[in-house]
Amino acid sequence: MATSKTRVLAGKKVVIIGGSSGLGFAAASALIEEGASVVIGSSSAAKVSAAVAKLSDPSTQFNADASRVSGYTVNLSGAAAESSLREFFTRIGSFDHLIHTAGDTLRMKPLDEWDYASLVEAGDVRYFSAILAVKIATANPNLLRRNAGGSIVLTTGAVAQKPMLNWSAVAGYAAALYGLTRGLALDLADKGIRVNCISPGPVETELWSGIPDEQRKAMLDEMGSKLLTGKIGQPEEVAHTYVYLLKDTNQTGQIINTDGGSTLTDRPQ
């Protein structure tokens, strides 16, 4: 009997750190459509429960199957992050792919307003927790599968390539994820684990929620008007790129842009 060459994720188990909202939730939804099982991790128990319920509900999720969805809380901030991640992965057991989309409120402010503590805090979730998650998931052969198509997808942002005013600290971490991805692809090659990274442009997610509603809408509308696509990105669009990188076993060490053309040039006004 012939086997499908496109539904290769059916039956696979994918862990999504940051999967309770935004890009991670959209990726989880897309993977459930593909027939995969998903395990989401987030710092908020309420958000985990709400996300699992929504992803299991046939009225909101195509191809829904409650047996293929689970989630746990995990602390990604501060010195306790490593032990929390270790406990998180122990509860999950073996799996096929790891996606890291976790982030926190975006911090845009002038250089003279940064200090050591705030600089470290800005990288806690989006950078340091990614390294720790990969370290723990790949150190134990009973966790992320080796030599069997296993992979990791990290998440950065287009600000790494296209500077924006007052984004220097965040842009530094975004650019660091480029180097991290390439280094990990080399470090984990002998274990048969691929590592790639997605670099989205402006996407309408909860990461912008720290900005007052009216100001946020005006800012996103202005960003969208400058993109070659003429609109701000949506999480479900970017989710297809995560699915692609899990499927394409010929990809490793790559940074894939999905940015509405933002790193190419601005839309003519």
CATH number of the domain encompassing residue 196: 3.40.50.720
Place of tokens 């989401």: 40
Full domain range(s) for residue 133: 13-258
Mean pLDDT, rounded, for 182-194: 98
pLDDT at position 1 is 67
Q: Please give the pLDDT value at position 130.
A: 97
In a domain, 267, yes or no: no
Within a domain: 18? yes
The answer as to whether 263 is a domain residue is no
**Could you tell me which of 165, 227, 158 has the C-alpha nearest to residue 198?**
158
Q: Is the residue at 79 inside a domain?
A: yes
Q: How many domains does the chain have?
A: 1
- CA dist 193 and 204 (Å) reads 31
- Kindly give, in sequence order, each residue whose CB lies less than 8 Å from that of residue 155, ignoring residues fewer than 6 positions away: 18, 23, 99, 100, 101, 103, 126, 177, 197, 198, 199, 200
- Do the Cβ atoms of 100 and 18 come closer than 8 Å? yes
Q: Is the pLDDT of residue 39 over 80?
A: yes
**pLDDT of 8:** 93
Residues 6+ positions from 44 with CB-CB distance below 8 Å? 20, 73
Residue 106, in any domain of the structure: yes
The token pair that represents 61 in the structure block: 């999720």
CB atoms within 10 A of CB 17: 26
Residue positions counted in the chain: 269
pLDDT for res 235:
95
pLDDT in tens, 149-176: 899 999 999 999 998 899 999 999 999 9
Per-residue pLDDT at 150: 94
Q: What is the mean pLDDT of the chain?
A: 93
In a domain, 155, yes or no: yes
Residue 186 belongs to some domain of the structure: yes
- CB burial of 80-96 (b: ≥16 within 10 Å; e: otherwise) equals ebbebbbebbeeeeebb
Is residue 265 one of the residues assigned to a domain? no
203 close to 234: Cβ distance less than 8 angstroms:
yes
Q: What is the mean pLDDT of residues 93-114?
A: 90
